[in-house]
Structure 1
Amino acid sequence: MAAATWRYRGDPEADQPAVLVRFSNGRLRRPDAMRFTVYRNRDTAHPRKKHRRILVSETERLSYVGNNFGSGVLKCNSLCRYFVGVLDKDSGQMEVYNAEIFNMQPLLSEDNLIPDDTKEYQNKSYREKMDLCIEAFGTSKQKRALNSRRMNAVGNDILNTAVTKAAANIIDAKGVSALIQDVAQDDVQNISVFLPPCNEDADKPENVYKFEDILSPAEYEALRVPAAAFVNITPEEITKKTEDKSHCSFVLEELKFLPDDEKRRDHKARCLWFLDTLIKFSCLKVIKKKHPMGPECPHIISRKLMKNFTSLTYNDGSVQNLVSASMKAKITAYVIALALHINNFQTDLTILQNDMKLQESRMMDIAKAMRLKVSKAKGLPGLENDQNHKLGTLSLPLPVQKASGKQQKRRKMN
């Protein structure tokens, strides 16, 4: 037999997926003898009603009915997608169709069970009515299963009560402030998963977050061609780029201070081009293009962005790359590390925060997780009149990790 391949076909009929059924009260002895009838809603113009279906089937003993709307519908239909595959063994081709599950329930006549004037019975759920039937007419095995389920329900209630009581005891014993501090520490640890490799035993700041862990030699070499535009940039071009906002503020500011030395100038230009690309990439949501940063971006850099800074997600029948919140935090950490190498291990976090469209608290959490000392930008050239800028400095010895500022403030209030 040839290697199996599959092809997605959608609905077998117009607006009608394949039907999968399951019976709530047992297993059929002769499923091949069953005949099903599907009833569709006449209102085909209504966006919701046009998809409503009622499935009916009859056996010698009982009639069954199921539907895909109302309070009794299976929740899995709204949370999951189902498919049916039909395989041709000779060609190895599988045709895949949309499917929908119907829960078939026996249609019981309530008049035969209890008198009409019993209002209490009329208010019971379907499960409760079935339990009454099992109590009255069920087999010994069904009755044992019913008793076991009821005992489990009682056990769950007792367990929930015990857990609630235990949580209250922990809060009383440890205190709300200590618990908030633990949560804050967990937040820092969660962020730490996405940081560049950190060498806590480094003897120099440049060895804490090594440049080779941010850009490999091959990636650094690939940046030579696109960064050439930065190497030869003129003040007039910088002014025009500032007006057009074609690059982030951090890069435009640093382009004004490129070194005169040819080697150092080329190095800084490559770093700024990659940092600008990282920030632009962080502003994307779902990556739909093969080369999202354009044809001028080297292939090895595009592959690095897709592999290291996106999450895979399944949507609408296909796999997509997503820049999730956690991936944006990772990009932010690498941007900060690269900015530290550019600016002699002290950088303006506020400018980077604005370029990446982050909240200050989020930026501070990431900076503190990277073991930076955060201070105000008072006294720096061009920032004397703005006291709200935050500086991040990487110096040895590395400070001990602490909870975020927001969590500390909440602790003081308590």
Structure 2
Amino acid sequence: MAATATWRYRGDPEAEQPAVLVRFSNGRLQRPDAMRFTVYRNRDAAHPRKKHRRILVSETERLSYVGNNFGSGVLKCNSLCRYFIGVLDKDSGQMEVYNAEIFNMQPLLSDNLLPDDTKEYQNKSYREKMDLCIEAFGTSKQKRALNSRRMNAVGNDILNTAVTKAAANIIDAKGVTALIQDVAQDDVQNISVFLPPCNEDADKPENVYKFEDILSPAEYEALRVPAAVFVNITPEEITKKTEDKSHCSFVLEELKFLPDDEKRRDHKARCLWFLDTLIKFSYLKVIKKKHPMGPECPHIISRKLMKNFTSLTYNNGRMMDIAKAMRLKVSKAKALLGLENDQNHKLGTLSLPLPVQKASGNQQKRRKMN
């Protein structure tokens, strides 16, 4: 017949002191019988919470360990579960059951056993803890790298402090309003780098920009040969080019009304040919280093395009932003051939008075053309 055992609940082994179960966070003990334990209780026995606080300290020949049942490092299982320990008398078959509490023992690398010292260490970042380990146990190479990083951090702090102080001095001396005006003026100057000089006091639209600032005499002369196809163009050729969509619709429309006077006709043909080349150039995705617009384009014109229109553009090359920067009045295009149903097409007109120029940060965006 199998032996039977009975158990009896005894509560705490001592007054308000459960039995202690311990576990060590850094491994398994080789000689558990050589451990010495000490329990520290909170003096405030009248406080309903503090009177149950305990600090458990254990010592070995090499290290000291500490654990507690309160604070941020306490095991959550103590608040979610109840633990018991039973002592069995094999002769009588009687088991005495007592309340128990688990303590997580951690090595303490200090002679001071107060929990506030460990709290400061726990609040440090992972990088700070690693630096402390390098200081104590790191190799010479690791320590040199640590010192170098700390010196760089100090240098950066000094530089940031100096920059902040200099900026504060400038603001105090000049004022925020004046600085904002300077930034706005810089934006306007940046725009003017890429556009011909603008005469805001002009009395006629043709005097707002000087023709020589757009096309130099040498460039204008170079346009004589390629623009000859426009000078001698026939209505049939204009119709065919319209069907082929080989030119800008504005250029094709203006070719219908070339002046009869030979000199004026040649001048307008050169301007239209240069405008048409500019528009075609703006749609290129890949630019060849030699003859980007074909061999019929004069070398001086190709060089002008590559120099002025491949490094910097406005807002990813939107023609709308360029038109506004040139102080053109933008309106919907009307009665242009082939654009009757195009609601997105706009017409830029140079007229007086000039629209107010507004500098925008988006106008400084740049892109490289491959």
Aligned to 1:120: 120
Residue aligning to 1:337: none
Equivalent position of 2:352 in the other structure:
396
Higher mean C-alpha displacement, 174-183 vs 268-277: 174-183
Deviation, 1:285, is 3.0
How many Å apart are 1:250 and its aligned residue? 1.8
Q: 1:51 to 1:157 in 2, by over 3 A?
A: farther
Cα distance between partner residues in 2 of 1:261 and 1:86: 123
User: Cα–Cα, structure 1 residues 32 and 292, in superposed 2: closer, same or farther, change >3 Å?
Assistant: farther
Q: Distance in 1 between matches of 2:16 and 2:301?
A: 44
1:378·1:386 contact (CA, 8 Å) conserved in 2? no
> Which SS does the other structure have where 1:36 is aligned?
strand
Residues 129 and 190 of structure 1: CA distance in aligned 2, closer, same or farther (over 3 Å): same
- The answer to which of 39-48 and 379-388 deviates more is 39-48
Q: Which moved more, 1:375-384 or 1:173-182?
A: 173-182
How far, CA to CA, are the matches of 1:92 and 1:261 in structure 2? 130
Give how far 1:280 is off: 1.4
CA shift, 1:369, in A, is 2.1
- Taking a change above 3 Å as real, the CA distance of residues 300 and 363 of structure 1, as seen in their structure-2 partners, is closer
Q: CA separation in 2, counterparts of 1:84 and 1:268? A: 106
Distance in 2 (alpha carbons) for counterparts of 1:206 and 1:81: 94
Q: Kindly tell me: are residues 13 and 205 of structure 1, through their superposed partners in 2, closer, same or farther at Cα, counting changes over 3 Å?
A: farther
RMSD after superposition? 23.8
Equivalence for 2:45: 44
Distance 1:43 1:126, change over 3 A: farther
State which structure, 1 or 2, has the greater radius of gyration over its C-alpha atoms.
2
Could you give the per-residue CA deviations for residues 352-407 of structure 1, whole angstroms, max 9, x where no partner exists? Answer: xxxxxxxxxx4433322222233445689998887765443323343322378999
Q: Quick check: 185-194 or 44-53, which moved more?
A: 44-53
**TM-score, normalised relative to structure 1:** 0.43
Moved more, 47-56 or 204-213: 47-56
Provide the C-alpha distance between the structure 2 equivalents of 1:132 and 1:46, rounded to a whole number of angstroms: 38
Q: CA deviation at 1:308?
A: 2.2
Unaligned runs of 5+ in 2: none
In 1, distance between residues paired with 2:6 and 2:174?
Answer: 59
Q: Deviations over 1:37-65 (max 9, x none)?
A: 99999999999999999999999999999
Relative distance call for 1:80 and 1:226 in structure 2 (3 A) is farther
Alpha-carbon spacing, 1:316–1:169, altered in 2? closer, same or farther (3 Å): closer
CA 1:230–1:16 in 2, change beyond 3 Å: closer, same or farther?
farther
Q: Are residues 407 and 269 of structure 1, via their aligned partners in 2, closer, same or farther at CA, if it must alter by over 3 Å?
A: closer
One of 303, 328, 337 as aligned partner of 1:372: 328
Q: Distance in 1 between matches of 2:18 and 2:196?
A: 48
Identity %: 96
Q: TM-score, normalised by structure 2?
A: 0.48
Q: CA deviation at 1:184?
A: 10
Distance, in Å, in 1 between the alignment partners of 2:322 and 2:9 is 44
1:233 deviates by 0.7
Q: Name the CA distance, whole Å, in 2 between partners of 1:12 and 1:309.
A: 91
Q: 1:403 to 1:413 in 2, by over 3 A?
A: farther
Query: Aligned with 2:86: secondary structure?
Result: strand
Is the CA contact 1:378–1:387 (under 8 Å) kept in the aligned structure 2?
no
The answer to whether the 8 A contact 1:134-1:142 is kept is yes
Distance 1:245 1:88, change over 3 A: farther
- For residues 180 and 114 of structure 1, the distance between their equivalents in structure 2, rounded to whole angstroms, comes to 56
SS at match of 1:121: helix
> 1:40–1:54: 8 Å Cα contact kept in structure 2?
yes
Provide Cα deviations, 1:227-276, integer angstroms capped at 9, x if missing partner: 11111111111111112222222211111111111111111111111111
After superposition, the Cα gap between the structure-2 partners of 1:179 and 1:409, relative to the gap in structure 1 and judged at 3 Å, is farther
Closer/same/farther in 2, CA of residues 121 and 100 from structure 1, 3 Å limit? closer
Structure 1 residues 115 and 186 mapped into 2: Cα distance closer, same or farther (>3 Å)? same
User: Equivalent residue for 1:82?
Assistant: 83
CA distance in 1, matches of 2:62, 2:334: 86
8 Å CA contact retained: 2:219, 2:300 = yes
Q: Which deviates more, 389-398 or 272-281?
A: 389-398
SS in 1 for 2:115: coil
Contact 2:20-2:100 at 8 Å conserved across structures: yes
CA gap of 1:299–1:155, structure 2 versus 1, over 3 A, is: closer
Residue 302 of structure 2: SS of its match in structure 1?
helix
**2:237 partner SS:** helix
Q: Deviations over 1:305-357 (max 9, x none)?
A: 2222223999999xxxxxxxxxxxxxxxxxxxxxxxxxxxxxxxxxxxxxxxx
Cα 1:163–1:262 shift into 2, 3 Å = same
Partner of 1:112: helix, strand, or coil? Answer: coil
Question: CA contact under 8 A between 1:18 and 1:100: conserved in structure 2?
Answer: yes
Q: What is the total number of aligned residue pairs between the two structures?
A: 368
Pair 1:68-2:69 in alignment: yes
Q: Per the alignment, in what secondary structure is the counterpart of residue 387 of structure 1?
A: coil
* Distance change >3 Å, CA 28–CA 308, structure 1 → 2: farther
| 3-state secondary structure, aligned to 1:313 | coil
Q: Decide which moves more: 288-297 or 140-149.
A: 140-149
Distance 1:180 1:298, change over 3 A: same
Name the stretch that deviates more: 189-198 or 274-283: 189-198
Unaligned runs of 5+ residues in structure 1 are: 318-361
Structure 1 residues 403 and 175, CA gap change in structure 2 (3 angstroms) = farther
C-alpha distance after superposition, 1:215-236 (max 9, x if no partner): 1111111111111111111111
CA–CA separation in structure 1 for the residues paired with 2:9 and 2:273? 42
Paired residues of 2:312 and 2:367 also in contact (CA < 8 A): no
Taking a change above 3 Å as real, the CA distance of residues 273 and 175 of structure 1, as seen in their structure-2 partners, is same
